């Protein structure tokens, strides 16, 4: 029997009704010391499946200058602790345009069902079918923010595909100081970006802070970026 995307989504939702572990992650976002908005990443998972929803809402001040925002959802399977995207749906506002992306993965390969607005093909475009082993950015965000045991903290690489561009998130081994763990990270543009975008930057460093809980797990606390990102900080509520 061939499983369609809606069928896979239904199976994922049903699987998550049994022994699901959920976490709601809410952050305040700051740019240059001014509150720019809020971020929420809410996920549920068990040993075989996961689902996650994400939302970025701009503050009144930011919306006055530029109406940016994001709303998305992703779901997939979990196998031996590894997460594999099955379906992704995202709507982003950049201030200059709105984009809607719908994708699903077959045999660990992304298939773009919709990317709106459409445009003519460009010489730097990449083929979705060749982006084997990638996941969506929302799933990667959930894996980065969620509470984990010490052995699963950072020290990982996520290969990402957003429907047109391939990128990568790297998190180094954590450095411990008392109950605080610090992980150096970077976001790297790989392919599908214009020459102009690549000249503006390829590697964007950031730092993640986690705090050890009474049960020994590590809970995300704060994110800070280097100046190349525009001095952005996100603090957990």
Tell me the two tokens of residue 69: 């925002």
pLDDT band at 105 (very low <50, low <70, confident <90, very high): very high
Instruction: Say how far apart CA 153 and CA 89 lie, in whole Å.
Output: 27
Q: How far apart are CA 7 and CA 107, in angstroms?
A: 16
Predicted local distance difference test score (pLDDT) of residue 83: 98
Residue 140 backbone dihedrals phi, psi, to 5 degrees: -65, -40
8 Å CB contact between 147 and 43: no
Lowest mean pLDDT among 1-5, 30-34, 146-150, 198-202: 1-5
User: Which of the four pLDDT bands, split at 50, 70 and 90, describes residue 138?
Assistant: very high
- pLDDT value of position 161: 98
- The owner of tokens 């509520």 is 237
Q: What is the mean pLDDT of residues 165-194?
A: 97
Whole-prediction pTM: 0.89
Confidence band (pLDDT; 50, 70, 90) for 7? Answer: very low
Max avg pLDDT among 49-63, 65-79, 135-149: 135-149
pLDDT digit string (tens) for 14-66? 444 445 689 999 999 998 888 999 999 999 999 999 999 999 999 988 887 87
Q: What is the pLDDT of residue 63?
A: 81
- pLDDT for residue 65: 80
Q: What is the DSSP string of 95-163?
A: SS-EEEEEEEEETTEEEEEEEES-----TT---GGG-TT-B-HHHHHHHHHS-B-GGGSS-EEEEEE-S
* pLDDT higher than 90, residue 94: no
CA 28 to chain centre: 16
Domain-wise residue ranges, the chain = 5-236
Indicate whether 124 pLDDT > 90. Answer: yes
Mean pLDDT of the chain: 90
């Amino acid at each position: 029997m061939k499983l369609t995307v809606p069928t896979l989504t239904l199976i994922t939702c049903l699987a998550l009704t049994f022994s699901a572990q959920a976490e709601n992650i809410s952050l305040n976002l700051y740019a240059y010391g001014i509150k720019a908005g809020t971020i929420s990443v809410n996920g549920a998972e068990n040993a075989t499946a996961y689902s996650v929803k994400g939302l970025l809402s701009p503050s009144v001040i930011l919306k006055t200058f530029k109406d940016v925002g994001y709303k998305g959802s992703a779901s997939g399977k979990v196998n031996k602790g590894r997460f594999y995207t099955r379906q992704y749906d995202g709507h982003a506002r950049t201030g200059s345009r709105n984009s809607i992306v719908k994708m699903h993965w077959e045999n660990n390969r992304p298939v773009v069902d919709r990317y709106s607005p459409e445009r003519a093909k460009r010489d730097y475009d990449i083929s979705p079918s060749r982006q084997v082993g990638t996941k969506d950015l929302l799933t990667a965000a959930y894996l980065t923010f969620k509470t984990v045991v010490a052995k699963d903290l950072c020290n990982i690489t996520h290969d990402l595909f957003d429907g047109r561009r391939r990128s990568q998130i790297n998190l180094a081994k954590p450095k411990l100081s008392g109950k605080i763990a610090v992980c150096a990270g970077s976001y790297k543009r790989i392919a599908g970006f214009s020459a102009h975008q690549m000249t503006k930057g390829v590697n964007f460093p950031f730092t993640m802070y986690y705090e050890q809980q009474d049960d020994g797990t590590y809970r995300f606390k704060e994110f800070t970026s280097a100046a190349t990102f525009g001095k952005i900080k996100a603090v957990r509520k």
